[in-house]
Structure 1
């Protein structure tokens, strides 16, 4: 196991990209933008998640897994590969269709982690090619101004930085989740372990605007993982409050009968199926999250 307690004068950044092999042009553009950074990363790992990888630039480590492990499983593969190298202190996950439009992204990240040893997670701002950030891509309740940064309770999956010492303590991504809510699960465990989660809008990942249209699999996974999130992390009295508030919101927001049917099936699956180790957060963590503006009941 790598010893993370030693002193590092300058945090070393490693990059992880997960791809299903269906965006070779976008992937190459992203890797080119990574290579153009003023402060180059120590390592770049690309994981082919159940798909063969295209030809990659020199110096990029390719890892192909035979089946799709989901977002959580694929990111754990990348994390483990970077851990094996032993020369990465901060892991940066980037979507394969994203783009770094500024050259000082890794410099800013290293500065942040160098300044604050308790910084666990840094969330990027995501904006399209016109500079627009969708409200659902701002990781807090008051989402009107995407340029307002600060401490938060969750983060964006498309672009973020993770402390490797934090990951060593929290255990990485919840593979059972496959996709949806895996970021919140990791953020809650990090907060409970005393780490900070920061939304830094000056760190920009350009990303195509995505449609809010949903499908049955999304509804099922969202409901199942929401239940698992509560079962794994919340003190017992808060579990029904959290799930009750989200059930009410879902019923108010969802206009699709098929979507609600899939959601109900996922909710039942979440109640019925195991979700990994249960480790309820401390009440002091609940209070801290409330002070940050998002208590874990909504």
Structure 2
């Protein structure tokens, strides 16, 4: 199944699973929707995340709550509730959230994250309005110390967390997509389940001519975490990285990308057994190749992150 077909199927599924029917009132189409994906294991954090959305000024966001294989909260705090019988993964669940709204811009917020300004969603809309080529953007993520973890900086180099600008990928904890751009490239690949789905989407967006922006002046809180909290994170990351690179990179760049990242994993003393298991799993079910244009490779290199770094 292609990414595009998976997103089309998600539209019908979102309608079938929705516990909150679309409004039949005269309410105008929302300009921005916020999709929060949750398994309802962090009720206090979820309440704070939703409160930070409800506190926004200058916009009337449509809140879509996607419950990923769990019992929904009671009472329902959302404008649209989708309850999935099984865990569809992060990309699959977010695709269903997008399918449940007709907003121009969709903002994704982790269920343990919080917007740190009451004007942030209004600022997001302004930036999409100002730049018709903007396909996706992300906020700066800060933890309990007020710092940004290195893995949350979408550039090479530790000192660029406080610098806004065009980038080649984005962080999913607090980010936004233009709905038409998202749907035009087929949304997230639901097979990824966890890890790398934002980078994969960013590459496809850029190859279609959309830009990706990092806003250091807009911040969202997210607690300090490590990828190792997720079971099989090395295997899933390796599998998804090979899928992403195989589908999107020209042959020589694909080889350079995989060699570079395997070497990085070895230097970091990560489990090569788990990584190679992920590679084998990916190779056995690799997607159809759609290599990006060399012009896209040049653009990514010019922005400081060639697609093999």
TM-score between both structures, scaled by the size of structure 1: 0.90
Q: 2:273 aligns with which of 261, 264, 275?
A: 261
Matches within 5 A, 1:17-36: 17-36=36-55
Contact 2:260/2:308 (8 A) holds in 1: yes
Instruction: Give ranges in structure 1 of 5+ residues lacking alignment.
Output: 3-9
Aligned Cα root-mean-square deviation (Å): 1.9
Contact 2:36/2:110 (8 A) holds in 1: yes
Q: What CA distance in whole angstroms lies between the structure 1 residues aligned with 2:252 and 2:229?
A: 31
Note the alpha carbon deviations across 1:79-137, whole angstroms, 9 max, x for none. Answer: 1111xxx3x11100000000112101011101101111111111110001331111111
SS of residue in 2 equivalent to 1:132: coil
Matched residues, number = 283
Query: CA separation of 1:78/1:248 partners in 2, compared to 1, >3 Å: closer, same or farther?
Result: same
Matches within 5 A, 1:107-186: 107-186=122-201
Q: What CA distance in whole angstroms lies between the structure 1 residues aligned with 2:208 and 2:147?
A: 34
SS of residue in 1 equivalent to 2:301: helix
Q: How far is 1:56 from its partner?
A: 4.6
Q: What CA distance in whole angstroms lies between the structure 1 residues aligned with 2:30 and 2:252?
A: 40
Q: What CA distance in whole angstroms lies between the structure 2 residues aligned with 1:125 and 1:96?
A: 16
Match of 1:293 in 2: 304
Note the alpha carbon deviations across 1:55-96, whole angstroms, 9 max, x for none. Answer: 2555521110111011111111101111xxx3x111000000
Q: 1:105 aligns with which of 114, 117, 120?
A: 120
Query: CA separation of 1:74/1:94 partners in 2, compared to 1, >3 Å: closer, same or farther?
Result: same
Query: CA separation of 1:106/1:56 partners in 2, compared to 1, >3 Å: closer, same or farther?
Result: farther
Query: CA separation of 1:11/1:196 partners in 2, compared to 1, >3 Å: closer, same or farther?
Result: farther
Matches within 5 A, 1:7-86: 12-56=31-75, 60-82=79-101, 86=102
Q: How far is 1:41 from its partner?
A: 3.4
Contact 1:41/1:106 (8 A) holds in 2: no
Q: How far is 1:244 from its partner?
A: 0.6
SS of residue in 1 equivalent to 2:241: helix
Q: How far is 1:211 from its partner?
A: 3.2
Bigger CA drift: 126-135 or 89-98?
Answer: 126-135
Q: What CA distance in whole angstroms lies between the structure 1 residues aligned with 2:85 and 2:269?
A: 36
Q: What CA distance in whole angstroms lies between the structure 1 residues aligned with 2:77 and 2:109?
A: 19
Contact 1:11/1:113 (8 A) holds in 2: no
